[in-house]
A and B are shown apart, each in its own frame.
Chain A
Amino acid sequence: MSGAPKKRLEVEELGDIAVVSFIDKKILDEQNIQLIGEQLFSLVDNDKKKKIVLDFSNVDYLSSAALGKIIALNNKVKKEGGKLVLCKIKDDIKEVFTITRLDKLIKIVDDQQTALQAAS
């Protein structure tokens, strides 16, 4: 692989909240997940974002490795005293969060407006 790493996330700043959308429909590929993780962590480590909303509306598939990155991001945000909120998750994907009980760990809401309120 050469050149700059491909952008895997779309980030919009709404006040002090970073609203992050996934570009990929499938968050499965190991290399992609690695990049997504790096770009997510960089929001906290480099851009000093503490309030993050993750918009899943594009996402059709995700693996346990992707869940791992989201958990790590949640741990990071919590450590900084911030908030991570997930929104617009399709039913099939929401089930993944429910069966792994990650819905008990991470705040999940239906729409972006509610997510913004929950993050602020």
Chain B
Amino acid sequence: MSLNRISVAIYLTGKHIDGGPRNMTDSAQNPSAFEPVDVVIASDPALAREVQDRIEELLSKTDASERDIFCIKLALEEGLVNAIKHGNQMDPEKSVTIRYHVQKLSFEIRITDQGPGFDPDDLPDPTAIENLERPCGRGVMLMRHYMSDIEYYPPGNSMRMRRDFKPKQA
């Protein structure tokens, strides 16, 4: 899809701004403009929450339906918690680099942590009978279900996910 390629290219040219641990920096000067945003946060779920709130605010200005917003919120939670908790092991010295792009008809995010990564294809199937009682291991599955597209980059400490919206009827 050529359109996807264009948006990914713009997305990758986003300026990377590095904030130290415990700080959050954000290149969104104007939240109403659908520009790619770069954020670096320390491994703190409260900072991830701030990013999620900002994204939700931006989504409310797009064609995203309630269902789209539900799916994105759920996937975002899983992606950020995975990066902070499983990737960075909550280490306050490690950060999570986030690039997101909210557009009228799509949402895309790349989340990169400083952990060793993992093989997303090597996870035990959480829906297998023998794994149903295991309390962990459903995050990746939920993200795959709720987003249109999800991709991991080796060594598995970086992932990108996307959801497209249907245009709202005028």
Tell me the A residues contacting B by CB distance below 8 Å.
28-31, 61, 63-65, 67-69, 71-72, 74-75, 92, 96, 99-102, 104-105
Contact = CB atoms under 8 A, between A and B. Distances in A.
B70 A68 contact: no
Interface of B: 45, 49, 67, 70, 73-74, 77-78, 81, 85, 126-127, 132-139, 141-142, 145
Contact of A100 (B77, B81, B85, B138): B138
Contacts of A96: 74, 142
Contacts of B141: 99-100
Contact of B145 (A28, A61, A71, A99): A99
B132 A101 contact: yes
Contact of B132 (A61, A64, A105): A105
B132 to A, nearest CB: 5
Given A100-B141, A101-B127, A63 B135 contact: no
Q: Is the interface of B mostly helix, strand, loop or mixed?
A: helix
A113 B45 CA distance: 38
A65 to B, nearest CB: 7
B142 A100 contact: yes
Contacts of B137: 64
A86 B67 CA distance: 23
Given A61-B74, A67-B138, A68-B135, A30 B127 contact: no
Contacts of B132: 71, 101-102, 104-105
16 contacts: A28-B73, A28-B77, A61-B73, A63-B81, A63-B139, A64-B136, A65-B81, A71-B132, A71-B134, A71-B135, A72-B135, A96-B74, A99-B145, A100-B126, A100-B142, A105-B133
